[in-house]
Amino acid sequence: MQRRSFLAGAAALALAPAVPARADTVKVRIGVGGKPLLYYLPLTIAERKGFFKEEGVEAEINDFGGGARSLQALIGGSVDVVTGAYEHTIRMQAKGQDVRAVCELGRFPAIVIGVRKDLADTVKSAADFKGRKIGVTAPGSSTALTAQYAMIKAGLKATDAALIGVGGGAGAIAAMKKGEIDAISHLDPVIAKLEADGDIKVLIDTRTEAGTRALFGGPNPAAVVYTKQDWIEHHAAGTQKVVNAFAKALKWIVAASPEEIADTVPPAYHFGDKPLYVQAVKNSLESYSRTGIPTQEGMASVLELVRTLDPELQGAKIDLATTFEDRFIKRAMG
């Protein structure tokens, strides 16, 4: 009997899929600017569902609280890869830094701009932001740029309002509830919490295609996975492993229910209200990339955004083809 059990066990082991050898594992330092935000959900899913481990990636995730700080960490060499806004690849190219995206995570920004409820009668649009304090994840991050772009489109200057860094989590909620900011440019689940508590009135909503087109005039790719071109060249196999893990996460998100997503992320991400988090996921589901590759129209839209905000980029020659390296995601998506 024992012999039969042993032989059966040996046969099962022989048929089991081979586990990647330790030598195939690569350690990758990943930077992110506000990991609990739904903007970066694919990163959390890749981590929590074990997709990094499946692909042989030992992921060390560093949360810097804002996208601009993640970019600084990449340029400074303290992280290898960043999940951050696509626009950073354009800005870095203009500065002579060859930074490229390798996977699109968000096809719409999913950024919401809202005003404090007690100011809603006087601040009815971005045209009324002059002299106001706007909470953003961090100055220079995509939430800040979106607020500035909205002001310019409304006839103001980008400097007409003060941008206050409030971080990516509970600090942002507290800043609004304490009246430290007049408006906020932020993401779910922070926005969902402020909406549910009646603290803000939403003015601009880019969680959907319609809302994105209303502000930007077209699609506008948001979160991507980006890194330096020389890192790609020296770690092509590692880059593919990282992209494979994110591709699995994108596919899983599309197939999963909001409840399954809420069950997968750390409970702390719920801000003490799981049903509210589920609603926040529902609000943002449309924004996640289905292909991992931004459209040419979307890339051009982001270029127009950064040129509008930064006069120094007006005359800069930008080759959009070099801001996104699509070979890894095409392989990952099959």
Domain range list for the chain: 26-108+221-333, 112-205
Encoding tokens for residue 141?
């991050």
Cα–Cα distance between 147 and 133 in angstroms, integer?
11
> What are the tens digits of pLDDT across the range 287-324?
999 999 999 999 999 999 999 988 888 888 889 999 99
Residue 11 has pLDDT above 90, yes or no: no
Distance CA 187, CA 169 (A): 10
- CATH homologous superfamily for the domain 112-205: Periplasmic binding protein-like II (3.40.190.10)
Rounded to an integer, the average pLDDT of 101-112 is 96
Measure the CA–CA gap between 243 and 56, rounded to whole angstroms.
Answer: 12
Question: Mean pLDDT across the stretch 61-67?
Answer: 88
Confidence band of 66 (pLDDT split at 50, 70, 90): confident
Confirm if 244 and 112 have CB atoms less than 8 A apart. no
What's the pLDDT band for 6 if we cut at 50, 70, 90?
A: very low
Tokens 């799981």 correspond to what residue?
274
**What are the C-alpha distances in Å from 299 to residues 87, 130, 274, 302, 314?**
9, 29, 35, 5, 16
Q: How confident is the model at residue 65 (pLDDT cuts 50, 70, 90)?
A: confident
pLDDT higher than 70, residue 127:
yes
Average pLDDT, the chain: 91
How far apart CA 81 and CA 61 sit, in angstroms, is: 10
Task: Average the pLDDT over 40-56 and give the result.
Answer: 98
CA distance 106 to 288: 4
Instruction: Give, in order, the Cα–Cα distances in Å from 286 to each of 65, 298, 328.
Output: 24, 15, 24
Query: For the structural domain made of 26-108+221-333, what CATH number should be given?
Result: 3.40.190.10
Of 105, 71, 70, 108, the closest CA to residue 90 belongs to 71
Q: Assess whether pLDDT exceeds 90 at residue 23.
A: no
Side by side, the strands of the sheet bearing 223-228 are: 57-63, 26-32, 81-85, 223-228, 99-104
Separation between Cα atoms, residue 94 and residue 317, nearest integer Å: 7
* Region 238-249 average pLDDT: 98
| Mean pLDDT on 208-231 | 94
The more confident residue out of 18 and 266 is: 266
Same fold, 26-108+221-333 and 112-205: yes
- The sheet with strand 162-165 has its strands ordered as 162-165, 133-136, 183-186, 112-116, 200-205
pLDDT bin (cut points 50, 70, 90) of residue 201 is very high
